[in-house]
Amino acid sequence: MKRSTAGSSVLTSVAVGALLVGCSASPDGEKSEPKMSADKVSSLVAQKLASTTGKPKPDISCPKDLVGKVGTTMRCELTASDGSTLGVTVTVTSVDGDRINFDFEADPKASPAR
């Protein structure tokens, strides 16, 4: 019997976008690029994946805040219940004031549990 990991079965060919709101302020009063916390990005990506796949929210972790600059990419990681992992690439597609629009796409293949 062939066993597929939860991560790969949930995320095969998933590519969806989300309109997200973030903001930041520079201490000297100058306008800087908006940012969204890593925790917020992780939570929103997990929420979008759950609504797209009809499965429970996966465990997603992102390493840093997302900078609202078109073309910025960040690699996040999904950890499935069996311990396997799947990379997720987040890419900023547009910024409108403090609104950051980004797409994300899961890698086609999961890595086995460590």
**Whether 76 contacts 49, CB under 8 Å:** no
Share of the chain above pLDDT 70, in %: 73
Q: Read out DSSP for 47-77?
A: HHHHHHHSSPPPEEE-SSPEE-STT-EEEEE
What pLDDT digit, counting tens, does each position of 30-50 carry? 568 899 999 999 999 999 999
- Write down the mean pLDDT value for the chain: 78
What pLDDT digit, counting tens, does each position of 2-34 carry? 334 444 444 333 333 333 333 333 344 456 889
Looking at mean pLDDT, say which of 8-17, 70-79, 95-104 comes out highest: 70-79
113 pLDDT band (50/70/90 cuts)? confident
Q: Tell me how far apart the alpha carbons of residues 79 and 69 are, in angstroms, rounded to a whole number.
A: 27
Q: What is the largest CA-CA distance in the chain?
A: 62
Is this structure's pTM higher than 0.75?
no
Q: Which residues contact 4 (CB under 8 A, 6 or more apart)?
A: none
Using CA atoms of 10, 78, 109, 105 in order, give the dihedral in degrees to the nearest 10. 80
Using DSSP's 3-state secondary structure scheme, residue 39 falls into helix
